[in-house]
Structure 1
Amino acid sequence: MSQSRADQLDIRHVSKTFITQKGSVHALDDVSLRVREGEFITLIGPSGCGESTLLKIVAGLDDSYEGDVLLEGRRVAGPGIDKGFVFQEPRLFPWLTVERNIAADLSLRDPGVRKRVDELIELVRLQGFAKAYPRELSGGMAQRVAIARALLRSPKVLLLDEPFGALDAFTRAHMQEVLLDVWQTNRTTMLFVTHDIDEAVFLANRIVIMRPRPGSIRGVIVNDLPYPRKKASSAFQEMRFRVLSEFEKPEEPVAADWAGL
């Protein structure tokens, strides 16, 4: 089955219920979303709305759900090199240098791996730190290593679960610019979970707004602001207000462009 550029990633009627000792928790309810190749999608909603759960399902880290997730026409059946994942914390190996953390299980003696790692170090602006250890890095630098590692095998989609949530405001803003550089260079399809409206507006082509638990998509706002975006601009503030206003009227359908859903 061939997949058009318009729907590289196809999430179809996904629902998820967790069974706990205290009973069942309905985390996701009938989530459907199609993502075009090379898009930058941000998922935003109230805490606990199931965004992280959805990312893990797309990554193949959770297969106990209802519905289907297709990547280029094939059902996601588990983790694979076609999907990269960046967690909320870097999860680096403290005993490995930056370059060896990026190379992961591959050998730097392989010329192809060596070249790719060097390219990624430059892409995420870590020149001069290849031999450094995680303890010698700032939080933002460590997260850049995690992003580079996730890109090592050139995944078709990069999934990012609030990767900048623990950073201070200045580092977070810098990391947003770094990630946009990565995206604009590689055009890797990205799904990015955030609870920060400014971050969602700054990064995304489309902003997916989710309802509280059980999480479901209430609408999608197409963000056509040109890059590079200026957070102080009137256009940016108008888009920010548009997103913010949807959270102030939770029972109203979002004014959205549904192309691609």
Structure 2
Amino acid sequence: MSTETLIIEQLNKTFSTPKGNIIALHDVQLKVKKGEFYTIIGPSGCGKSTLIKIIAGLDTEYEGHVLLNDKPIDGPSIEKGIIFQEPRLFPWLTVENNIAGDLSLKQPDIRKKVDELIELVRLQGFEKAYPRELSGGMAQRVSIARALLRNPDVLLLDEPFGALDAFTRSHMQEVLLDIWQKNKTTMLFVTHDIDEAVFLGQKVVIMQPRPGHIQSVLPIELSFPRKRTSIGFQEVRRTVLNEFEKVEETVFNSGAGI
């Protein structure tokens, strides 16, 4: 058995349109070890969300190999949790019932797990609240707790904080890091924000579009907790930004634009 939780080899994805085929992903290669936190950045149209959907098993029409725990991913499963930009909660259910989903809170083990997750995402006191009574950040914390309920091997986050204000976004980043450090869940986090990518990730994946592929994977050798104002953080951010600017230059020189 390999040491990697997730293995992606020679991944290619093509969409058919009335105007012809569009290559969304080309020869994507990536290996992620258990418990690692990867952030993924790149221009619009580089295939970040497509890659996440394939790993989640929501898109199985592709060429290549995508393995989770050495087994091919052929559809959604409890081994994979996914969180989108919108919380997507059931408005008629309370916080605790949204987290439990189709499982009954009357089961002692489910009740215990839900209570633990509510504490983990810092929502004590809001167990009986409905989504309409929650802020955007609180609703997203419910989504995270729900995704963690079945102890997934990998948690996929597709710009989960993109719609939040700056203060709430910063707070949610701290919450997510706290969850990751306590649970050691393997995480892949898509973002457009370079600061966010450096603040969260152990490694930053930089993608290039047309067709979408991985240009580079940069290790972030900064200890946690990280401070955005530190010299070390700014130096790493500059390195990532320089690499990202190479992507932008390539795209603009191709005449395609971003």
Is TM > 0.5 for Structure 1 vs Structure 2? yes
User: Match for 1:127 among 124, 127, 133?
Assistant: 124
Q: Number of matched residues?
A: 250
Q: Matches of 2:123 and 2:43 in 1, distance apart?
A: 34
Shift of the 225–233 alpha-carbon distance from structure 1 to 2, 3 Å rule, reads same
Q: Matches of 2:117 and 2:186 in 1, distance apart?
A: 17
User: Match for 2:15 among 2, 18, 22?
Assistant: 18
- Which residue identity is paired with 1:250? V
In structure 2, what is the equivalent of residue 182 of structure 1? 179
In structure 1, what is the equivalent of residue 114 of structure 2? 117
Give the TM-score normalised by the residue count of structure 1: 0.94
CA contact (8 A) 2:227 2:233 kept: yes
Q: Which runs of 5+ in 1 are unaligned?
A: 254-261
- Which residue identity is paired with 2:24? A
Deviates more, 1:109-118 or 1:208-217: 208-217
Matched residue SS, 1:135: helix
In structure 2, what is the equivalent of residue 256 of structure 1? none
Q: CA deviation at 1:3?
A: 2.6
Q: What percentage of aligned pairs have identical amino acids? A: 69
Q: Which runs of 5+ in 2 are unaligned?
A: 251-258
User: Match for 1:197 among 194, 197, 211?
Assistant: 194
Q: Matches of 1:150 and 1:115 in 2, distance apart?
A: 16
Q: Matches of 1:207 and 1:157 in 2, distance apart?
A: 17
**CA displacement 1:81-139 (0-9 Å, x = unmatched):** 00000011000000000000000000000000000000000000000000000000000
- Which residue identity is paired with 1:38? G
Q: Matches of 1:223 and 1:30 in 2, distance apart?
A: 24
Q: How does 1:153-172 map to 2 (within 5 A)?
A: 153-172=150-169
Q: Matches of 2:176 and 2:216 in 1, distance apart?
A: 25
CA contact (8 A) 2:43 2:248 kept: no
Q: How does 1:168-247 map to 2 (within 5 A)?
A: 168-247=165-244
Are 1:72 and 2:69 an aligned pair?
A: yes
Q: Matches of 1:136 and 1:214 in 2, distance apart?
A: 43
In structure 2, what is the equivalent of residue 92 of structure 1? 89
Matched residue SS, 1:89: coil
Q: CA deviation at 1:251?
A: 8.6
Matched residue SS, 1:214: coil
- Which residue identity is paired with 1:202? F
CA contact (8 A) 2:39 2:204 kept: yes
Q: CA deviation at 1:47?
A: 1.0
Give the TM-score normalised by the residue count of structure 2: 0.95
User: Match for 2:143 among 139, 146, 154?
Assistant: 146
Large movers: runs of 4+ above 4 Å: none
Matched residue SS, 2:30: strand
Q: Matches of 1:185 and 1:249 in 2, distance apart?
A: 36
CA contact (8 A) 2:202 2:219 kept: yes
Q: Matches of 2:34 and 2:99 in 1, distance apart?
A: 25
- Which residue identity is paired with 1:122? E
In structure 2, what is the equivalent of residue 3 of structure 1? 2
- Which residue identity is paired with 1:3? S
CA contact (8 A) 2:37 2:188 kept: yes
- Which residue identity is paired with 1:162? E
Matched residue SS, 1:8: strand
Q: Matches of 2:46 and 2:161 in 1, distance apart?
A: 19
Q: Matches of 2:36 and 2:143 in 1, distance apart?
A: 21
In structure 2, what is the equivalent of residue 257 of structure 1? none
- Which residue identity is paired with 1:144? R
